[in-house]
Every structure is written in C-alpha cells, then in structure tokens.
C-alpha cells in the first residue's frame, strides 16, 4: 500500500525494541527476496537511502522533460511531434510514480520539490546538457534512455515494494522511448548529408555523458556497498557501463556512426569493448551545478512552480468551498 496513514499507534504498549534482532530479521527478509513494504520495520539508513535515491530519480524524470520538451514545437512531422509529446508525457508520469513511491517512506512531494528547486537535491547530470539540434532528441532516446533502461531493469527486483512496482511500470513504458530515439537516428542516417552530419554531431556530444550516467567507477562510489546489501542496487556501476558499451557500439555501427572514442576497440579474449578514459572532472563539475544547462533547467522548474502557485491555491480554495457547501446542504 502507498498509504500515508502510517502513524497508527499500536493498541497495546509494545515491549522494548531490540534493534539488533529487528535488523537481523530485516536482512533475512531481504536475503530471502521478500519485499519490504511501507509499514514494515526498516533501518533508518535504508529508509533515508531510498528517499534520496527515489527522489533523485523522480527529479531526473521531471527535469528531463525540458531538454526534449523544447523540441515539441519544432518537431519536423506531425507523427514525430505526437511521439515526442507522448514520450515527455511518460516522463512526467514516471516522475509522478516515483514521487508517490518516495512518499510512502514518510516524505512529502512538496518537501522533495523544495529540495530540488533550492538546489540541494541532485538529479541525473545528463539533463544538464543542451539539445541544440533535432538529432539530440534521437540521441537522448537512443543513448540516455538506453542507459536508463540498463539501470532500471535490475531495480524492478529491488527490495522495496513500492519502488520495485513503480520500476516495473516505468520499464514497460521505457522501451518505447529508446526505440523511437533509435528510429529517429536511423531516419537521419539514411537521409541527406546534412541530416547525417547532424546525427554524428549529436552522438559526439552525448556519448560520454551517457557513459557517465552509470556513476563513478566502483572503487570511488560512496553509497554502493550498503545499497547492494539491501538489494536496492543490484549491479555495480562499472558492470552496467560495460554492458551498455557492448550493446551500443554495434547499434552505432549499424547507423554508420562512430562513437567519439579513439581508444574504443573489441577485446576478443575478454569478449568486450575496451574504451577510453572518462573525464570525471567534467562529471563532478556538472554534478556540482556547473554544467552547461544546470542553471537554466532549475530556473525553468522554479518559474513553473512559482507561476503555478496561484493555480494550486485556487484549486484548494474551490475544493474547500465545495466541502462547506456540501456540509451546509446536509445540515
């Protein structure tokens, strides 16, 4: 249940709690692949880790509506326009599912949004890059959604019930996102020389940021070990990144495009692609707020929120009036 009625007091006084045994029982349940639900006992750090992770994920979906949303009015055909609107609509929906899942852990959507808008909460660095061309819409679908899917499928089996269920719903919708992106790129690559150049240029700009989406190298990742113990995170950053490269390089080849990595090559013995070093300095700068579009993205979200205040207020005022009218009518 996603219910927030979580403050129900037990009817009898409970015996003093032995945290150690509660934690052992909790870990046993997780090990046995049982789902943890909102009202179950959980370690405080499990709860706070999930709130952080789920809300970051939700923020990413909402901010992610902007770089693609800005091409809706310029989409080159009515079908592409429709597809793009549907995709961005899905992303808003994903944000909503995720905020709901996070709310089951005792935080309100408003609190989470406040954290985002004041710059405290993080969201996926990828959405701080600009989308100057139509090909970027394709690159985002192909690469960014592709990377997201790789991260998200394991989360469908995460230990926390509401998050796992939201992820199942999201993954079902996400594969359309990647396919429409790849299809868009395919059309460009089969088109005019200008279109093909546009596609290569987009790949050149999105390749490395997509690889960075999997997070820092395992050795440097702060939150990993607990997350893996609690089955919130099921594969390491490097494992997923490698898998992504191995899937995506042949896809690029089929398009007739070349990833911008001179060190990229197939390792026959290890059966995987070796790839060049990632600029983690860029990643950290973007995460800190110094990416090309961080300021713009947040400014747009703040503006939308501020300009919508009178609307949200009016809706509540009207609901209140209706309540009074019904009460008076009944009296």
Shortest CA distance to 65 belongs to which of 161, 162, 144?
A: 144
Residues 191-230 that bind another protein (CB under 8 A): 191-192, 194-195
Residues 6+ apart with CB under 8 A from 237: 214, 215, 216, 217, 218, 221, 224
User: In this chain, which stretch among 6-14, 47-55, 207-215, 236-244 interacts with another protein, using CB under 8 A?
Assistant: 6-14
Q: Does 32 bind another protein (CB under 8 A)?
A: no
Residues 112, 100: Cα–Cα separation, whole Å: 11
Tokens, residue 167? 């992820």
Residues 116-145 that bind another protein (CB under 8 A): 117-118, 134
Least distance between another protein and beta carbon 215 (Å) = 25
Residues 166, 43: Cα–Cα separation, whole Å: 22
Q: Does 1 bind another protein (CB under 8 A)?
A: yes
Least distance between another protein and beta carbon 4 (Å) = 5
| SS3 of residue 120 by DSSP | coil
- Which one of 35, 47, 165, 229 is in contact with another protein (CB under 8 A)? 165
Neighbours of 293 (CB within 10 A): 18
Residues 241-280 that bind another protein (CB under 8 A): none
Tokens, residue 147? 């990377």
Least distance between another protein and beta carbon 70 (Å) = 8
Residues 47-106 that bind another protein (CB under 8 A): 62, 65-66, 69-70, 72-82, 85-86, 88-90, 92-93, 95-97, 99-101, 103
In 7-96, which ranges are E strands? none
Least distance between another protein and beta carbon 78 (Å) = 5
Least distance between another protein and beta carbon 169 (Å) = 8
Burial class, 312, CB count within 10 angstroms (exposed 0-12 / middle 13-18 / buried 19+): exposed
Q: Does 115 bind another protein (CB under 8 A)?
A: no
Q: Does 309 bind another protein (CB under 8 A)?
A: yes
Q: Does 13 bind another protein (CB under 8 A)?
A: no
Tokens, residue 326? 């019904």
């Amino acid at each position: 249940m996603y219910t927030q009625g979580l403050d129900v007091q037990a009817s009898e006084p409970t015996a003093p709690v032995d945290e150690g045994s509660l934690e052992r029982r909790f870990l046993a349940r997780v090990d046995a692949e049982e789902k943890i639900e909102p009202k179950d006992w959980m370690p405080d750090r499990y709860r706070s880790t999930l709130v952080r992770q789920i809300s970051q994920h939700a923020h990413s979906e909402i901010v992610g509506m902007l770089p693609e949303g800005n091409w809706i009015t310029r989409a080159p055909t009515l079908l592409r326009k429709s597809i793009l609107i549907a995709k961005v609509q899905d992303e808003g929906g994903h944000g909503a599912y995720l905020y709901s899942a996070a709310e089951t852990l005792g935080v309100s959507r408003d609190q989470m949004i406040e954290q985002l808008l004041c710059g405290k909460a993080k969201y996926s660095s990828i959405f701080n890059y600009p989308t100057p061309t139509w090909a970027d819409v394709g690159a985002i679908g192909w690469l960014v959604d592709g990377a997201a899917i790789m991260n998200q499928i394991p989360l469908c089996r995460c230990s926390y019930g509401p998050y796992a269920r939201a992820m199942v719903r999201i993954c079902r919708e996400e594969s359309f996102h990647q396919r429409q992106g790849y299809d868009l790129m395919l059309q460009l690559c089969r088109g005019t020389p200008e279109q093909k150049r546009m596609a290569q240029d987009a790949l050149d700009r999105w390749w490395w940021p997509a690889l960075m989406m999997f997070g820092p190298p395992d050795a440097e990742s702060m939150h990993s070990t607990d997350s893996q113990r609690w089955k919130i995170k099921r594969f390491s950053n490097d494992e997923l990144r490698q898998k992504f490269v191995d899937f995506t390089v042949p896809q690029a080849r089929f398009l007739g495009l070349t990833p911008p990595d001179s060190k990229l090559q197939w390792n026959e013995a290890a059966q995987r692609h070796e790839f060049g070093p990632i600029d983690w300095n860029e990643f950290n700068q973007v995460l800190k707020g110094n990416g090309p579009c961080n300021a713009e993205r947040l400014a747009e979200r703040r503006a939308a929120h501020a300009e919508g205040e009178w609307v949200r207020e009016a809706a509540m005022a009207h609901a209140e009036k209706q309540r009074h009218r019904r009460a008076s009518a009944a009296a």
